Amino acid sequence: MNRNDLRRLDMNLLVIFEALMFEKNLTRVAEKLFMGQPAVSAALGRLRDLFDDPLLIRNGRGMEPTPRALAILQELQPAMDTISGAVSRAKAFDPSTSCDVFRIGLSDDAEFGLFPPLLSQLREEAPGIIVVVRRANFLLMSSLLASGEISVGVSYTTDLPANAKRKKLRDIPCKVLRGDQRPGPLTLDEYCARPHAMVSFSGDLSGNIDLDLARIGRTRKVVLAVPQFSGLRALLAGTELISTVPDYAACALVEGCALRAEDPPFQINAAELSMVWSGVHDNDPAERWLRSRIATHMSQPLPAAAYADPAGVQR
């Protein structure tokens, strides 16, 4: 196919092709691209004619890409990233008049503890924008960036796509949440003896806290795992349950309720909260504006009085 032949190619088909390769499901692609499922099915038929390959083959209840489809995806993605980046950089960005849609991936702790003030700032500067938040963590971040479902994410991160970029926002110190009324901080023995609740996206019953305890020859007993931080406020109140959470999540959880937060009675190695983004959006004016606001609002240290009650007593 030469340059003149490209005039006959519908670029929308390539966008649908990329989504199909990641989602492997016509319904999910239709939802993601705001299309009807019959339109996606028709596009798949045109793509099969274009590439002379089935592209997706039904496998049980799902669909799997053919080897030819995966090879085409590997060739097309860099080109589509280049085109997307070139078009984005050509557009001026004025937050006060923008109607852009921004897709952000946030871990639950970042969404619960750090996102509300960021959203207020975004809405103040750019009242016409739309913000779509996707739940992300270190297990999901790479695939969400690679598929284009998000342009930027905030979480503890590990492996990322080759073209992704990363910026450290802050360390993640921990606080111990408790809802009982006994005075004084917990001793290490009390911490290990009490029942623990943990926030676990995947349902695991152990995490980095347990590794830190193991280094000093101690263990804890996790009796409850929940998928998000917001539930801890009701679950811990008036009980013996305790939970060890990031300091910014603790700050949000103790506000206006009977929970209190205190320093853990042992050394916890702080993880890093990072902002990550696709390299294709690195120089996009709108995305650079968004990343600058994320960096400003999600990297600020908590005020010294974050856990103090009205009388100024550390809770």
Predicted confidence (pLDDT) per residue in 186-235, tens digit:
999 999 999 999 998 888 888 889 999 999 999 999 999 999 998 999 99
Residues 100 and 106: their CA atoms lie apart, in Å, by 19
Q: Are 250 and 314 in contact (CB under 8 A)?
A: no
Largest CA distance in the chain: 78
**Which of the two residues, 305 and 155, has the higher pLDDT score?**
155
Read off the pLDDT of residues 250-273 as tens digits, 9 standing for 90 and up: 999 998 888 999 999 999 998 899
Distances (CA, A) of 258 to 112, 177, 265, 297: 18, 10, 21, 27
For residue 314, pLDDT over 70 is answered with no
**Which of the two residues, 302 and 5, has the higher pLDDT score?**
302
Strand order from edge to edge, sheet including 101-106: 130-135, 101-106, 152-155, 271-278, 164-172
Classified as helix, coil or strand, 238 is coil
pLDDT of residue 5: 60
Residues 237 and 83: their CA atoms lie apart, in Å, by 53
Residues 249 and 112: their CA atoms lie apart, in Å, by 6
pLDDT of residue 50: 87
> What are the strands, taking DSSP E only, across 78-232?
101-106, 130-135, 152-155, 164-172, 174-178, 195-199, 221-226
**Which of the two residues, 184 and 146, has the higher pLDDT score?**
184
Q: Are 80 and 12 in contact (CB under 8 A)?
A: no
- Arithmetic mean of pLDDT, 86-108: 84
Percent of the chain with pLDDT over 70: 91
For residue 68, the tally of other CB atoms under 10 A from its CB is: 13
Residues 58 and 62: their CA atoms lie apart, in Å, by 6
- Highest averaged pLDDT of the listed ranges 46-60, 175-189, 293-307: 175-189
Residues 126 and 94: their CA atoms lie apart, in Å, by 8
pTM greater than 0.85 (yes/no): no
Orientation angle between helical segments 67-89 and 285-298, nearest 10 degrees: 90
